[in-house]
Amino acid sequence: MATALKYFTVYFLSGLKFIFGPTFGVAYDLPVIAIIILTTLGMMTTIYLFTFFGDELRKFFGRFRKDKRIFNKKSRRFVKIWRKFGLKGMCLLTPLVLTPPGGGLLVNLLGSNKRLILKWMWISAFLWSTVITLIVKYAFWLIDDFVTL
């Protein structure tokens, strides 16, 4: 597989499901710094899209929704999480639990300041991409050493 395609795969998948970026990056044997940067940028591309075009996307996809109720089980759960953790907590949970599209949409729907959203999402994306990349990289390394014994 071409190297550029490997890099693009890590970048693109990080925007959809955060854990896929470091996992594929390590599987493709990319440098750790490149994996961290691509994973962070992939997630943040999604966050920027939802932050600046979230209202238009919500209106577009809202036309296809069958359930027009505002307060349903899912929306109540999101509000409950928001009240419990706030913006900083939601940003830190986004890569692990909510996925970049889910977390980006949620923090924007609940009316946060866009500058603060971007600030905390950058911090969260860089922190978790570093942590997850190092865990995945050295977990594979330990497994390889264990298998070769």
At 86-129, the pLDDT tens digits run 888 888 888 888 888 888 888 887 777 889 999 999 999 999 99
Q: Please name the residue that has the structure tokens 């109540």.
A: 76
Report the SS3 class of residue 131.
Answer: helix
Q: Which residues contact 39 (CB under 8 A, 6 or more apart)?
A: 10, 11, 14, 18, 21, 22, 25, 125, 129, 132, 133
At 25-69, the pLDDT tens digits run 999 999 999 999 999 999 999 999 988 887 777 777 667 766 666
In whole angstroms, what is the distance from residue 85 CA to residue 114 CA? Answer: 18
pTM over 0.85: no
In whole angstroms, what is the distance from residue 64 CA to residue 83 CA? Answer: 29
Q: Count Cα atoms within 13 angstroms, Cβ side, for 93.
A: 16
